[in-house]
Structure formats: C-alpha cells, structure tokens
C-alpha cells in the first residue's frame, strides 16, 4: 500500500523522508511518537480541503517559498512549489515530511538509504531547512 511507504527524496527544502504514516517516520528517525510532523501539500486547493487559513495571511501562504506555517489550532503545513517534489505529492495528495536523519544527528546517506522503502533519484545535497512561521489571529511570529 502506497500510504505506508517511506520515500527518501530531494524535497523542496532539503533531503528528507516523506510518508503518509507518521509511525513509519517515527521508526525511521527513532524519535518519540506523538511529536508532530509538517504536512506538505502539492497545491493550495488540497490544503484548503483540510485547514482554514486566517484571512490576513492567505496571500502570504499562497506566495510562500520554502516556508512552513503553524496555524492557531496547532496544524503545521507547507505548500510545495518545487516541480519535481510536487510530482510525488500529487500522487499521494498529502504527506508528512521530515529531514532524512536520525533525531538529533546530522545527515548520513547510507543510513537514510537503508531505512527508506523507495529512493527517488537523483538525490542532491542537504541544505538549510524551511523557515517556520506561526500564524496568530492577527500577528505573525517566526519560530525557526
């Protein structure tokens, strides 16, 4: 079943694991269960089917590049602009995304390849993670 597969891919921000199963991501990263992941969407329309974005930030979310957001309800999301990564997400419709490393450690390609079910080639180099912004009711606050 495709929803439980763990993909290693060059995401729009860095090299990462992508899956619809948060349990598989917890197992691959060896991190405690219950810690939330960023949900990535291929389009704004697919995001709107699940979450409501505060009116004052809709234009910012629509035009964002390499930025993740947290809503006042605690949901975190990112809309993908990279065409290569978007192809995978269009097939999945949505997915959880995280960096391809053990929790608290730096990237190790041999470990990432051994844990992943599917490796989407070609893999690039790890880069900086996305910025995370908290969308309050009226104010915007930078988390990372």
pLDDT for 96 equals 93
- Given CA atoms 132, 136, 140, 142 in this order, what sign does their dihedral have? negative
Read off the tokens for 27: 């197992």
Task: Indicate the pLDDT class of residue 1, thresholds 50, 70 and 90.
Answer: low
> Which of 24-28, 51-55, 76-80, 113-117 has the weakest average pLDDT?
51-55
Phi, psi at residue 82, to the nearest 5°? -70, 125
pLDDT exceeds cutoff 80 at 3: no
Contacts of 35 (CB under 8 A, 6+ apart): 26
pLDDT for 134 equals 92
Domains of the chain: 2-142 (3.90.870.10)
Identify the bridge partners of residue 16 per DSSP, sorted by sequence position: 9, 99
Cβ neighbours around 62 below 10 Å, total:
11
Helix, coil or strand: residue 64 = coil
| Tens of pLDDT, residues 64-97 | 888 999 988 888 999 988 888 888 888 888 999 8
């Amino acid at each position: 079943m495709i929803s439980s597969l763990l993909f290693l891919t060059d995401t729009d921000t860095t090299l990462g694991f992508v899956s619809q199963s948060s349990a598989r991501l917890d197992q691959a990263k060896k991190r405690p269960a219950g810690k939330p992941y960023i949900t990535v969407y291929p389009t704004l329309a697919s995001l709107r089917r699940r979450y409501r974005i505060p009116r004052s930030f809709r234009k910012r979310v629509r035009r964002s590049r390499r930025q993740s957001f947290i809503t006042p309800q605690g949901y975190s999301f990112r809309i993908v602009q990279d065409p290569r990564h978007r192809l995978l997400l269009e097939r999945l419709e949505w997915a959880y995304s995280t960096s391809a490393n053990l929790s608290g450690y730096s990237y190790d390609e041999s470990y990432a390849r051994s844990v992943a079910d599917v490796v989407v080639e070609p893999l690039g180099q790890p880069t900086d993670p996305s910025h995370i912004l908290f969308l309050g009711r009226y104010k915007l606050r930078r988390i990372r």
